């Protein structure tokens, strides 16, 4: 049996555009309260406004997932606003504008090593 997401508190990292914004939209349609996290104030404000325009409860927290203090602040903000955090959708990622064949070792590390380990 599926559990209802109505009134659940959700954080979507990388939720200001692309796949993350789409995921946030699905959570909104299912009745969840959503906080999108991203690095851009402009994109974040626009994403939250669009989600609210769909009739949902949404907010934006500026933050970089590679910075622990940013994430601690975001969780504290969501917990205070929504009464806790029920779901974390860890969607954030980077996408270098290159093919795998042409990707430098440094770019590979940025995508798969440094981001995953928080280094």
**pLDDT tens digits, one per residue of 10-49:** 999 999 999 999 999 999 999 999 999 999 999 999 999 9
Distance CA 33, CA 51 (A): 10
Distance CA 108, CA 100 (A): 9
For 50-93, how does the pLDDT look when each residue is reduced to its tens digit (9 = 90+)? 999 978 999 999 999 888 999 999 999 999 999 999 999 999 98
Note the pTM of the prediction, 2 decimals: 0.84
In sequence order, what are the beta bridge partners of 89?
Answer: 12
Distance CA 86, CA 76 (A): 13
Q: Are 41 and 104 in contact (CB under 8 A)?
A: no
Domains and CATH numbers, the chain: 9-94 (3.40.50.720)
């Amino acid at each position: 049996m599926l559990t209802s997401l109505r009134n659940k508190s959700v954080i979507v990292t990388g939720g200001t555009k692309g796949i993350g914004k789409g995921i946030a939209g699905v959570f909104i349609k299912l009745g969840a309260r959503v906080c999108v996290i991203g690095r851009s104030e402009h994109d974040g404000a626009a994403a939250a406004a669009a989600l609210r325009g769909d009739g949902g409860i949404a907010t934006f927290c500026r933050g970089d997932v590679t910075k622990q203090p940013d994430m601690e602040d975001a969780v504290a903000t969501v917990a205070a606003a929504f009464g806790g955090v029920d779901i974390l959708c860890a969607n954030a990622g980077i996408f270098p504008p290159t093919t795998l064949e042409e990707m430098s070792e440094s770019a590979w590390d940025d995508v798969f090593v440094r981001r995953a380990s928080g280094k």
